[in-house]
Amino acid sequence: MIADRYDERPEETVTMYGATGTTIRWLINKDNGARTFAMRRFEVQPGGEIPLHDHDADHEIYILSGEGIAFTEEQEITIKPDMFVYVPPNEAHGYRNTGDSPLIFLCVIPLLE
Amino acid sequence: MIADRYDERPEETVTMYGATGTTIRWLINKDNGARTFAMRRFEVQPGGEIPLHDHDADHEIYILSGEGIAFTEEQEITIKPDMFVYVPPNEAHGYRNTGDSPLIFLCVIPLLE
Condensed to tens digits (0 to 9), the pLDDT of residues B73-99 reads: 999 999 999 999 999 999 999 999 999
Closest residue of B to A30, CA-based? B86
| Chain A residues closer than 8 Å to B4 by CB | 83-84
Q: How confident is the model at residue B32 (pLDDT cuts 50, 70, 90)?
A: confident
pLDDT of residue A28: 97
pLDDT of residue A113: 56
The answer to whether the pTM exceeds 0.90 is yes
Is A102:A47 a contact under the CB 8 Å cutoff? no
Of all residues in chain B, the percent with pLDDT exceeding 70 is 98
- Contact check, Cβ <8 Å, B91/A1: yes
Is A61:A55 a contact under the CB 8 Å cutoff? no
Three-state SS string over chain B comes to: CEEEEHHHCCCEECCCCCCEEEEEEEEECHHHCCCCEEEEEEEEEEEEEEEEECCCCCEEEEEEECCEEEECCCCEEEECCCEEEEECCCCCEEEEECCCCCEEEEEEEECCC
Closest residue of B to A56, CA-based? B35
Domains contained in chain B, CATH given: 16-36+45-98 (2.60.120.10)
Q: How confident is the model at residue B113 (pLDDT cuts 50, 70, 90)?
A: low
Chain A residues near any Cβ of chain B (below 8 Å): 1-7, 27-28, 32-39, 58, 60, 62, 64, 70, 72, 75, 77, 79, 82-89, 91, 93, 106, 108, 110
pLDDT of residue A64: 98
Q: B2-12, pLDDT tens digit by residue? A: 999 999 999 99
pLDDT of residue B33: 87
Mutation for testing the A interface, residue in B63, B108, B109, B113 having most A CBs under 10 Å = B108
pLDDT at residue B35 above 90? no
The amino acid at A61: I
DSSP chain A: -EEEEGGGSPPEE--STT-EEEEEEEEESGGGT--SEEEEEEEEEEEEEEEEE--S--EEEEEEE--EEEE-SS-EEEE-TTEEEEE-TT--EEEEE-SSS-EEEEEEEE---
Reading chain A (113 residues) residue by residue, the pLDDT tens digits are 999 999 999 999 999 999 999 999 999 999 888 989 999 999 999 999 999 999 999 999 999 999 999 999 999 999 999 999 999 999 999 999 999 999 999 999 999 65
